[in-house]
């Protein structure tokens, strides 16, 4: 009789252990699913931030490119302008107009980046 009770307790203990394991696996699965949504949310936020950062970098590179073109244009304008027109406002206005043209027209851009300074 004692052996039978012992076997029953062992079997019941295994059943309870199996039930606890199944319950804990279910809870783990539920936590993973909840975390999965959190990870997706974090991933989406980081993706949006990365896109915004890339836009900033691209706009910054456009600004730097414009400054680089403008400096080259200004040097050449100062070199070829007559002494009577060598006023900072006039030089700046001519530089702005040529820089605007060089940004949209590759012909003008090649003129100022042909290799000679």
Write the pLDDT tens digit of every residue in 44-103.
Answer: 777 888 888 788 777 777 788 888 888 988 888 888 888 878 888 889 999 999 988 888
| Residue 11 included in any domain | no
Q: Which domain range does residue 98 map to? A: 29-112
Q: How many domains does the chain have?
A: 1
pTM more than 0.75: no
| Residue 94 included in any domain | yes
The whole-angstrom separation of Cα 104 and Cα 96 is 13
| Residue 23 included in any domain | no
- Kindly state the tokens that stand for 28: 């783990």
Whole-angstrom CA distances from 53 to 45, 65, 67 are 12, 18, 21
CB atoms within 10 A of CB 113: 15
| Residue 24 included in any domain | no
| Upper half-sphere CA count for residue 44 (Cβ side, 13 Å) | 6
């Amino acid at each position: 009789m004692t052996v039978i009770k012992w076997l029953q307790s062992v079997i019941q203990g295994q059943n309870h252990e199996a039930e606890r394991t199944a319950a804990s696996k279910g809870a783990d699965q539920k936590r993973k699913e909840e975390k999965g949504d959190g990870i997706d949310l974090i991933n989406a936020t980081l993706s949006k931030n990365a896109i915004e950062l890339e836009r900033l970098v691209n706009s910054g590179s456009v600004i730097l490119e414009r400054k680089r073109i403008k400096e080259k244009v200004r040097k050449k304008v100062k070199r070829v302008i007559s002494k009577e027109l060598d006023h900072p406002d006039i030089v700046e206005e001519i530089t702005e107009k040529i820089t605007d043209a060089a940004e949209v027209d590759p012909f003008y851009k090649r003129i100022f980046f042909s290799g000679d300074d």
